[in-house]
């Protein structure tokens, strides 16, 4: 095993146990032994179980905040969409109905109705009611 | 319907601190699922890489809490960037592309964090091994702690590129190809940077040790 291979092999495993072959080489090669010692000194201690637990809890909380769960599934959303469309349709329909019911009849039909009503009145019917605008003048009015 | 999007499973798994069962798809498959509207796929990616990101970020922060918070900021930043970046990552077809992308975000955030704090952590005595029973072991441990302190100070004196490569190798335990992908350089360049870093570290440690009048390595 040569020095470059040692470094390549060992640098990725600085905190772990070295193989017997590597151990033998390290006893003979001062440069490699220094490299391994350096890398072991440089490495941070392994992440503790408490750190891992705390990290996982924090991550779940963050994910809940940035990826809020969907409150309803696709069926609910579709139903909501239909309900909204139906409501809008009802509002439009009721508006049109109200507009039509308040509109006065067309002038042609009104005149026809008036004429036909007028034609049915018997001006000579003694029982008919006639409007009298005011009473006829009398002599006493001039006094 | 995706089973993880089911409301029933959210009731089971959605409360704080409990992750759903892990999914077995590859990173790029999950990225593609996210682009199709499966937001839980992003959560799976975050859970999958959280420890690697945390291990890498520990080096750039003063304490574990900062590293944990910085990891969460990586997820926030990644989610914002995912709709733009995932199509490119998926199209490359490289399995480690998503992980390298997460690492790039983490390193950029870490560099900002260090710059904002205007300091580089030079000592790490709070992470030194626990108190030892015997005086002999205590002596040995103190020497080891001094060595760690010396080496970590020397890491701070590396060039930024050398430092990033070195830390991704030592803390992230990543292969050189992936380090190169994360930092936007070739595998051979990453390897060369690493060897230069080791050489410079050895020289720096010898120098510091000589100034302090003790044995180097």
Out of B16, B72, B127, closest to residue A45 by CB = B127
On whether the CB atoms of residues B195 and A4 are closer than 8 A, the answer is no
Where do the H-state alpha helices sit in B36-159? Answer: 39-58, 64-92, 97-117, 135-156
pLDDT tens digit string along B120-152?
A: 554 444 444 444 445 566 666 667 777 778 888
Identify the segments of chain A with pLDDT beneath 50: 14-15, 110-111, 113-118
Residue B58 contacts by C-beta under 8 Å, 6 or more apart in sequence?
A44, A47, B64, B67, B171
| Contact: B14, A41; criterion CB under 8 Å | no
Rounded Cα gap, residues B81 and B89, in angstroms: 12
CB pairs under 8 A between A and B: 118
Widest pairwise Cα distance in chain B: 68
Per residue of chain B (217 residues), give pLDDT as tens.
Answer: 444 443 333 333 444 455 666 778 899 999 999 999 999 999 999 999 999 999 999 988 888 999 999 999 999 999 999 999 999 999 988 888 999 999 999 999 998 888 877 655 544 444 444 444 455 666 666 677 777 788 888 888 899 899 999 989 888 888 888 899 889 999 999 999 998 998 898 888 888 777 766 665 6
Residue B175 touches chain A, beta carbons under 8 Å: yes
Q: Rounded to whole angstroms, how far apart are CA atoms B188 and B195?
A: 11
Q: Which residue of A has its CA nearest to B2?
A: A73
B151 and B141 Cβ atoms separated by less than 8 Å: no
In a 3-state reduction of DSSP, which class is residue A60?
Answer: helix
Predicted local distance difference test score (pLDDT) of residue B42: 96
Q: Do B151 and A14 touch (CB under 8 A)?
A: no
Cβ–Cβ < 8 Å for B56, B171 = yes
User: What is the reported pLDDT for A140?
Assistant: 59
Angstrom distance (rounded) from CA A2 to CA A26: 11
Looking at the partner chain, which of A12, A35, A67 has a beta carbon nearest the beta carbon of B39?
A67
pLDDT of res. B34: 95
ipTM (interface pTM): 0.73
**What are the counts of helices (DSSP H) followed by strands (DSSP E) for chain A?**
6, 0
Please tell me the predicted confidence (pLDDT) of residue A96.
Answer: 80
Give the pLDDT score at B2.
42
Range 80-99 of B in CB contact (< 8 A) with A: none
Q: What share of chain B is helix, strand, coil (3-state, %, to 5)?
A: 75, 0, 25
Q: Which of B55, B2, B11, B56 is nearest to B30 (CA)?
A: B2
User: String of b and e for A12-37 (b: at least 16 CB within 10 Å)?
Assistant: bebeeebeeebeebbeebeebebbbb
What sign does the CA torsion over B132, B136, B142, B148 have? negative
According to the model, what pLDDT value does residue B70 have? 95
Is B124 close to A44, i.e. CB distance below 8 A? yes
C-beta atoms of A51 and B76 within 8 A: no
> By CA distance, what is B155's nearest residue in A?
A42
Q: What is the C-alpha to C-alpha distance for residues B217 and B204, in angstroms, rounded to an integer?
A: 11
Cβ contact A66:B76 at 8 Å: yes
Q: Which of B81, B148, B166, B174 to mutate to test the interface with A (most CBs of A within 10 A)?
A: B148
Phi, psi (degrees; rounded to nearest 5) at B37: 110, 0
Give CA–CA dist B87/B61, Å, rounded.
Answer: 32
Number of other residues whose CB lies within 10 A of the CB of residue B190: 25
Closest by Cβ to A38, choosing from B6, B47, B202 = B202
Orientation of helix B187-211 relative to helix A30-42, angle to 10°: 90
In 3D, which of B37, B52, B43 has the Cα closest to residue B75? B43
């Amino acid at each position: 095993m040569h020095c470059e291979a040692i470094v390549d092999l060992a640098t990725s495993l600085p905190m772990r146990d070295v193989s017997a072959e590597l151990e033998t080489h390290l006893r003979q090669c001062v440069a490699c032994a220094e490299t391994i010692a350096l890398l072991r000194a440089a490495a941070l201690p392994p992440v503790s179980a408490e750190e891992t637990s705390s990290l996982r809890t924090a991550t779940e909380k963050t994910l809940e905040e940035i990826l809020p769960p969907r409150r309803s599934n696709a069926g609910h959303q579709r139903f909501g969409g239909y309900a909204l469309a139906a409501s809008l349709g009802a509002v439009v329909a009721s508006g049109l109905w109200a507009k039509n019911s308040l509109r006065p009849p067309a002038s042609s039909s009104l005149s026809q109705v008036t004429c036909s009503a007028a034609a049915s009145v018997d001006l000579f019917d003694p029982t008919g009611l006639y409007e009298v605008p005011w009473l006829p003048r009398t002599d006493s009015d001039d006094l | 319907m995706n089973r993880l999007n089911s409301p029933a499973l959210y009731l089971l798994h959605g409360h704080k601190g409990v992750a759903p069962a892990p999914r077995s798809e590859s990173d790029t498959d999950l990225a593609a699922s996210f682009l199709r509207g499966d937001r839980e796929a992003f959560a799976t990616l975050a859970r999958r890489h959280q420890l690697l990101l945390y291990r890498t970020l520990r080096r750039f922060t003063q304490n574990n809490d900062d590293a944990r918070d910085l990891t969460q900021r990586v997820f926030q930043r990644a989610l914002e960037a995912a709709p733009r970046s995932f199509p490119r990552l998926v199209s490359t077809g490289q399995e480690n592309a998503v992980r390298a992308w997460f690492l790039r975000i983490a390193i950029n955030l870490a560099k900002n964090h260090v710059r904002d704090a205007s300091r580089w952590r030079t000592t790490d005595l709070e992470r030194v091994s626990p108190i030892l029973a015997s005086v002999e072991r205590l002596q040995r441990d103190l020497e080891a702690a001094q060595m760690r302190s010396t080496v970590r100070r020397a890491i701070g004196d590396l060039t930024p590129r050398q430092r990033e490569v070195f830390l991704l190798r030592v803390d992230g335990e990543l292969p050189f190809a992936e380090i190169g992908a994360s930092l936007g350089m070739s595998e051979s360049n990453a390897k060369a940077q690493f060897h230069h870093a080791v050489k410079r570290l050895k020289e720096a440690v010898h120098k510091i040790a000589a100034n302090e009048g003790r044995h180097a390595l």
